[in-house]
Amino acid sequence: MILRNCSLFLLCLLMACTKSEEETITEFELHFTQSWSGTPISSDALNNVQFQNEAGEKLTIERLRYLLSNIHLQLSNGTKIPLKAFHLVNIQKEESLKKTLTTFVAPKDIEAVSMLFGFENETNQDGIYPDLNAVSWNVPRMLGGGYHFMQLDGKFKNKMGALAPYNFHAIRAVDKTDPENLIFEDSFFEIEQPIEATASRIRMSIDMDVSQWFVNPHLWFLESDATSLMPNFEAQKRIAANGKSVFSIQIESY
């Protein structure tokens, strides 16, 4: 009799816990995908001359790494809940393309997800992230230090018909005309997506349309701007401007 009563009590307790957890926990599955004008880019097709930018230049994508930071939720009561301080996506490293995160927030309270491309200035301090140092993600101190926002490398067919390298690297824009007095301009930007969750599991697909880096608002000609873009102040500002139309986020709750 005592045993049966105890079992019933335990069962009730477990049910209460389960119900409570369902209401206050949301699980996120972040998928980082890359595409070219709607066609997925897969890592096994790198090195092929298979893309063409808006300027008509044919190109390969051989390396693509980019950093998203301050990934957080915006709640209906105005608070912000951090999900991840930063995440480095490497198209050649499968483990970087998916991340599962859990928050103690009820799905109904979530209004939006927000993140930054690159680092904001306060968090972009030189050498402070050992895991990013370990993968040589740093920016030279002569350019202000800190970290890359993106490394997009490949080759394009130039006017002579030869393949020529390009290094489309994004960093905090810096004018180093006077090396003793560097002038910076913010080149990180925010990516935001409203969320209307109906269940406690949310699949978030964050897609980078790589073709957009070369289009809007600045039509990009690799023929004239392909390499040594890190110390190129104007190029960095144009990269940041073009980046605003690069990302899209699809939300699915289930």
Partner 1 sequence: MRQGVYLLLLIGFLAACKKDDPETVQGPTPYTLEIPSLFAEKLIAPVFPANNPLTEEGVALGEKLFFDKRLSLDGNISCASCHMPQQAFSDRRAVSLGIRGQEGERNAMPIFNLAWNYDDRFNWDGKALSLEEQAFRPVTHPKEMGNNWINVARTLQEDAEYPDLFERAFGIREIDSIVITKALAQFERTLISAQAPFDQFLLGQRNLTSRQENGLAVFMDEERGDCFHCHGNENNPLWTDNDFHNNGLDTDFADIGLGAVTGDPADNGKFRTPSLRNLTRSAPYMHDGRFQTLEEVVNHYSEGLKPSATIDPLMKKVNQGGVQLSPQDKADLIAFLRSLSDPNFGQGIGSGVE
Please report, as ranges, the residues that interact with partner 1 according to CB under 8 A.
44, 46-47, 62-63, 126-127, 130-131, 133-136, 138, 140-142, 151, 153-155, 162-167, 226-228, 230-231
> Which DSSP string do the residues of 148-194 spell out, in sequence order?
-SEEEEEEEE-TTS-EEEEEEEE--EEE-SSTTS-EEE---EEEEEE
Please state the closest distance from residue 191 (CB atom) to partner 1, in A. 26
Give Cα 147 distance to the centre of its chain: 14
Annotate 55-104 with DSSP letters as a single string. TS-EE---EEEEEEEEEEEEETTS-EEEEEEEEEEETT-GGGSEEEEEES
Looking at the Cβ atoms of 176 and 203, the one nearer to partner 1 is 176
Task: CB nearer to partner 1: give 65 or 72.
Answer: 65
Q: How far is the CB of 83 from partner 1 (least distance, A)?
A: 21
88 or 249: CB nearest partner 1: 88
Q: How far is the CB of 144 from partner 1 (least distance, A)?
A: 12
In this complex, which beta carbon is closest to partner 1, that of residue 168 or of residue 247? 168
CB of 157 to partner 1, least distance (A): 12
